[in-house]
Amino acid sequence: MANTTIVLEGELRTEFGKGPSRRMRAAQQIPATIYAGGDQPVYVKLPMKETTLALRHTNALITVKYGEGSKLAVVKDVQRNPVKRIVEHIDFYEVKAGEKIDVEVPVFVEGTPKGAAVAFVDIQELKVRADVSNLPERIVVTVDGLADGDKVFLKDLALPEGVELDMEDLDESVVTVEVPQDAPLTEVTQEQAENVPAIDESNPAA
């Protein structure tokens, strides 16, 4: 769970557009906007290094400070340069302590299926609803002991306490376990193959 609140020390920004944004990034700062429901958005610039590190934590609770003000927020959207992959702009959404919000959480698989079977993730991200102080960073699906043809459905998931799925079809599969078509021979098959007599191509009667 993302229980720790990250603090980012920023500044209010009064310049907008591509030119000022380029100058901010050249100065190792990231332009950002904090949306607060129906209130006027707050425009800030944040330190690039600390902010980039903070973005590694999915659904982290972030306190953004700017001058005399501060807001508790979660990341809503991140714009990255398609070539350099550096962060160019961030949208935050202000939250209140005790509030429940909807977030998207990535699916991770742990464990080893039986034999040559492999686990395939059918849904990369799940929509869940949780308290802002207890937002999950990931949903882990265990596939230990599952065999070819087994599936893990939304209704089968073991969710962290206080986390609810916000998805319609609970019979939809999240993970499918199956043997790939190009999977190597099993040990038994290899042994059987080794016991098959070789064909003598020089003998037409063979």
Model pLDDT for residues 186-202, shown as the tens digit of each residue: 443 344 334 444 445 55
Confidence band, pLDDT 50/70/90 cuts, at residue 107: very high
Q: Which of 100, 43, 99 is nearest to 69 (CA)?
A: 43
Confidence band, pLDDT 50/70/90 cuts, at residue 30: very high
Domains in the chain (CATH in brackets) are 6-95 (2.40.240.10), 102-178 (2.170.120.20)
CA distance 119 to 100: 32
Helix or strand (DSSP H, E) at 132: none
* pLDDT tens figures, 43-96: 999 999 999 999 999 898 999 999 889 999 999 999 998 888 889 999 999 999
* pLDDT tens figures, 127-175: 999 999 888 999 999 999 999 999 999 999 989 888 999 999 999 999 9
**Residues 141 and 152: beta-carbon distance below 8 Å:** yes
Q: Which residue has the higher pLDDT, 98 or 31?
A: 31
Q: Which of 66, 69, 53, 67 is nearest to 6 (CA)?
A: 53
* Residue 183 confidence (pLDDT) above 60: no
Query: Which amino acid makes up residue 26?
Result: A
pLDDT at res. 187: 44
